[in-house]
Structure 1
Amino acid sequence: MTTQRAPDLKTVLLASGIVITLSMGVRHGFGFWMQPISQQHGWTRETFSMAMALQNLMWGVFGPLAGMVIDKVGTMKMMVLGAFLYAAGLLWMALVDNSALFIIGTGILIGAALACTSFGAVSGIIGRTAPLEKRSWAFGISSAAGSFGQFIMMPIEQQLIDHAGWQNAFYVLAALVVVLMLPMAWKLREPALEQATGPQQSIMEAIREAFAYKPFLLLVAGYFVCGFQLVFIGVHMPAYLKDKGVMDPSVAVYALALIGLFNIFGSYYAGKLGGMFPKPYLLSAIYLARSVVIGLFLLAPLTPYSVYLFAAALGVLWLSTVPLTNGVIAGIFGVKYLSMLSGFVFFSHQVGSFIGVWLGGYIYTKTGSYNMVWGIVLGLGIFAALVNLPISEKPIARTAAA
């Protein structure tokens, strides 16, 4: 009888990185489908925005549930499920022309798929595999993979839409998801997790402990802002630029790709700095810097070059919160239930995403402008900078009974 060996850190980072590259890369490009799908079906922007909003909310809802299963049975099985859910969701978006069914199916299928194939899904295996001194760095590598996916997949998705049509683009991406994700999931097989070391808490004990601990609640509040800002910008940026007279759609493509490119460096160095400086202070600085960058962008004359400069600056700050947030959670609570607890924090992120992407479409439909939403984005950034300052990342004190 052979004993299953745990994958080494290099294998974990490579396999999970490829999955996240594809998962996040495809998802970040959904904004390119807003106008062709809306025009094809005669929908307003609010309809597509609601589908994206529900998708982000369901991603958050399914995140803790997927994390609970992953922390019990391992990453591989949930990632296989996620690959098939992702493909089904893409086919649904291509084929369904009823607005209500489009919103519900897109939200549930893609949302559940992302919960099984993105950052939260791999945080547990990374935390269990990486030694303590490399943990923050390893989370940074994982976040950088998501940024690389945004950089590499944005132009591919736009080219597929332009040359194959928006429906055929979905078919190609669905096939790509299954073909690439399944072999990578196989590499993330883990031995039985019941033998994991650490405090032998039950799931409910871990949940009660986390939600009774103030630093965890502050982290949850800050991550709400992260979701609101990023998804509003990611989905509505192409339409915003067109409204402002930047007619060439390639500007939006290059801008979103630049965000992904520069966040490769931002995520990597955020993880690296997280091993050297207090992570809550770094999180606070990131949120404050986002508000400054967004404010300068809104005040500056809008040209393709100002858009590219904004995208590069924002890219450094885009997903750099992820390795630091996961690092704080692991530092406080350990890694036994890391996927689940990361899922709960990420649920707050996705509530913010839901409100941000939906509110953008709603306010635009009512006022014909995004100005009010931009103001909310700025205010929330300052709020997040303040709530992260008092967070302590020291391990939580537990009694022997716990």
Structure 2
Amino acid sequence: MRNPNVWAVVVAAAIAASMAMGIRQTFGLFLLPLGSETGVSVATLGFAVALHNLTWGIAQPITGALGDRYGAGRVAAVGGLLYAAGLALMAAHPSAVTALLGFGILTGLGVGCAGTGSVMAAVGRAVPPEARGSMLGIAAAGSSVGQALLVPYAQLGMGWFGATAALGAIAVMALLIVPAARAMEWSPRDTLAPRRPLSELPALARAAMQERDFALLTLGFFACGFQLAFLTTHLPAHLALCGMPPWLGATSLMLVGLFNIPGSWLCGKLGGVIRPEVALGGIYLIRSLAITLFAILPVTEWGTLIFAAVLGSIWLGSVPLTAAAIARRFGVADLGALYGVCFFSHQIGGFLGAGAAALLVERTGSYAAFWPVMVLVGLGAVAANWATRGSIRATAAA
């Protein structure tokens, strides 16, 4: 992998995804302070984050198909502008309406354009099959740098200037996606490849879902979204309700990002050794076991930090593995669109995970009843991925 153009694509993709994914990881920090500062209820803000996840999921197949056709970089640049606009709207005029429109819809469209779904397709097309798993892992690992940096940035900004001012500063950071997108994949890489029109996307989705193993992969991705959206959105609030200090929520999310840097790379490498679906089942099993222990043991500072480190090591490992699994079965020409179809299930899970937990805590004042649901959903993902056909070892890439 000495081709400098390939590395330029990987680095640019990592920067774009780092901003897109890192910003959304700060939303949980804003939940209680923004509600206290602006008077917008925690339930409304939680539902806005849930709407963000659903909008992202609906947009991802479309933005992925647009990236396949016109270049993922162009789509990501538009996403950076939408992301910044959504955050700035909420910062300038905080209300229930702007929370749903800005936090919910505009940022959901932004991350759909510039998040991992779009950039992984660009990386998958830029690298040869034998190096695809490793390079996808590197791009996913780079995307975690944003979480490690932006979480303390947001926490410090809220402490010094308040929640709305910190949100405005985060909006400025979203604009960094635009120059990174220019270097990623501004035009389709293979100009001779057939370009599928958007009108064919429903037929492509139906054909893919008729493949048994793709359907199982998609079902497993639902659990990933359910678990991660809940933890990203509600873990800081859960810790606050348990009497833990405010720094613990921010530090936990920062640790998730730090440990995910080597974790995503290792998961990508693992996808080149064993079949990606087998590795995905292992990830969901480890995550469910960690959630079980965290739920049944007393909440302590050290226990929370260890929990965050374990989760971080496999946090976005599902992304390169899922992309690799799709590329092995269908090739890379429609990778953005097909990843988007699979990811739609992920975001339905995210919408339910974040939204249901927001309603629960509004009614009961506790998240206690939600942890067993998290474990059961995760075990379902283990079963779905391990039910896919094929040898345990990875097969030759398409």
Shift of 1:387: 0.6
Residues in 1 aligned to 2:205 and 2:295: alpha-carbon distance in whole angstroms? 41
Deviation at 1:150, TM superposition (A): 1.0
1:338 aligns with 2:335: yes
1:220 touches 1:349 (CA, 8 Å); kept in 2?
A: yes
Q: Contact 1:31–1:238 at 8 Å: present in 2 too?
A: yes
Deviation of 1:304 after TM superposition, in Å, equals 0.6
Shift of the 198–85 alpha-carbon distance from structure 1 to 2, 3 Å rule, reads closer
Q: Is 2:84 the counterpart of 1:87?
A: yes
Match of 1:184 in 2: 180
Q: What are the within-5 Å matches in structure 2 for residues 2-401 of structure 1? A: 8-178=5-175, 180-188=176-184, 189-191=186-188, 193-196=190-193, 203=201, 205-246=203-244, 248-392=245-389
TM-score in terms of structure 2 length: 0.93
Please state how far the C-alpha of 1:207 moved relative to its aligned partner: 2.6
The amino acid of 2:218's aligned partner reads V
Is the contact made by 2:21 and 2:116 (CA closer than 8 Å) also made in structure 1?
Answer: no
Q: Offset at 1:200?
A: 12
Secondary structure at the counterpart of residue 8 of structure 1: helix
1:317 to partner: Cα distance: 1.8
1: distance between equivalents of 2:167 and 2:21? Answer: 15
- Name the CA distance, whole Å, in 2 between partners of 1:170 and 1:83: 15
Matches of 1:127 and 1:89 in 2, distance apart? 29
Shift of 1:30: 1.0
Deviates more, 1:35-44 or 1:148-157: 35-44
Distance 1:278 1:199, change over 3 A: farther
Q: Distance in 2 between matches of 1:359 and 1:372?
A: 11
Q: Distance in 1 between matches of 2:299 and 2:138?
A: 33
For 1:198 and 1:121, how far apart are their aligned partners in 2?
Answer: 16
Percent of aligned pairs sharing the same letter: 36
Distance in 2, Cα, partners of 1:211 & 1:245:
45
Letter in 1 for 2:105: I
- Distance in 2 (CA, whole Å) between partners of 1:390 and 1:197 is 33
Change (3 A) 1:219 1:182: same
CA shift for structure 1 position 136: 0.9
Give, in angstroms, the shift of residue 175 of structure 1.
Answer: 2.1
2:387 match: secondary structure:
coil
Q: 2-side partners of 1:79 and 1:173: how far apart?
A: 17
| Post-superposition offset of 1:168 | 1.8
Structure 2 counterpart SS, 1:85: helix
For 2:25, what is the secondary structure of its paired residue?
Answer: helix
Deviations 1:83-116 (A, max 9, x none): 1101101111112333134213321100000011
1-side partners of 2:346 and 2:366: how far apart?
Answer: 25
The Cα RMSD (Å) is 2.3
The one-letter code of the counterpart of 2:224 is C
Q: CA deviation at 1:139?
A: 1.3
Amino acid at match of 2:384: V
Deviations 1:109-158 (A, max 9, x none): 00000011111111221111111111111111121122221111111111
